[in-house]
Amino acid sequence: MQETSLKGRKFTGATRPPKTYSQSRTCTQKGCETRLSQYNRREWCYTHAPTKYPRLRGRIVKADA
Ligand SMILES: [Zn+2]
């Protein structure tokens, strides 16, 4: 005989809704209308996302003149 231990099982875990951002967002870049995923927290599409500039042989490039 098999005893069912599922009896009286409680669901204690609170149901959390998945983190979503406002729907139908588009890239912040002007003129770019690439749709962003609502799970994407960036404000730019993959193409316009700011990227870190790679170091050029340890040379420091001054951004401000
Ligand atoms: Zn874009």
- Cα of 30 vs centre of ligand 1, distance in Å, is 8
Q: Is residue 38 part of a domain?
A: yes
- Could you give the number of structural domains in the chain? 1
pLDDT per residue as tens, the chain (65 positions) = 666 666 666 666 677 777 665 667 899 999 999 998 877 788 899 899 887 766 666 666 676 66
Summarised one tens digit per residue, pLDDT across range 40-54 is 788 899 899 887 766
CA of 48 to the centre of ligand 1 (A): 5
Where in the sequence is the domain holding 33, given as residue range(s)?
Answer: 19-48
**What pLDDT is recorded for position 20?**
66
Note whether residue 43 is domain-resident: yes
Q: Looking at residue 34, what is its pLDDT?
A: 92
Compute, in angstroms, the gap from residue 60 CA to the centroid of ligand 1.
28
Measured CA to CA, the distance from residue 28 to residue 21 in angstroms comes to 14
Q: What whole-number distance in Å separates Cα of residue 33 and Cα of residue 31?
A: 6
The model's pTM is: 0.42
Q: Residue 31's CB: how many other CB atoms inside 10 A?
A: 6
Spell out which residues have Cβ within 5 A of ligand 1, the ion.
27, 29, 32, 34, 45, 48
Domain-embedded: residue 5: no
CA–centroid distance, residue 54 to ligand 1 (Å) = 21
